[in-house]
Amino acid sequence: VLQLTELRADMSSGDMHVFLPIGGSEALEAAFEMSSGELEVEAVAGTRVDMSLDMSSGDARVLLGDRSDATVTFDASSGRFTLSLAADQAFRVEVRSVSSGNIDLPSGLIERERGDGREGTWETEGYSGASHKVHLVIAHMSSGNVRVERAD
């Protein structure tokens, strides 16, 4: 049986669509670097992944299936990033550094920590006790837009 344990992908322009399988006993390590273009990463339900996305500009979208366990770290100069989650997925958003731009989070999140400006940490109710969690870290964003959306 072949098991994917690490994935690294770089793109300077164009479009890339990646499907991530269910991870094994350890989380899949996935790293994406993009200068510009469009990136879509789709993970099936039950995926375990530690993902980093380093982007100069462009449009990136990550879709995580239900019952996912993931950490997604986002670092960008500009562009647009969307994280799409199942309706009942427990998640936390940690915003470390934002120069300008917009961060659009679903309503009803609990603010756990407030930093300067737009920095802080928000999470769904019951996050700490959830069996499956997604943690989005916005490490740095110079400008652009970040959106977290939940399926209806």
Query: To 5 degrees, how large is the angle CA 63–CA 150–CA 130?
Result: 90
How confident is the model over 98-152, as pLDDT tens digits?
Answer: 888 889 999 999 999 988 777 899 999 999 999 999 999 999 999 989 999 998 7
The answer to whether 29 and 52 have CB atoms below 8 angstroms apart is no
Burial class (CB in 10 A: 0-12, 13-18, 19+), 26: exposed
Q: What is the CA 35 to chain-centroid distance, rounded?
A: 18
The confidence band for 2, taking pLDDT boundaries of 50, 70 and 90, is: low
How confident is the model over 49-104, as pLDDT tens digits?
Answer: 999 999 999 999 999 999 999 999 999 999 999 999 999 999 999 999 988 888 99
pTM: 0.92
Work out the average pLDDT over 19-46.
88
Instruction: Return the pLDDT at 116.
Output: 79
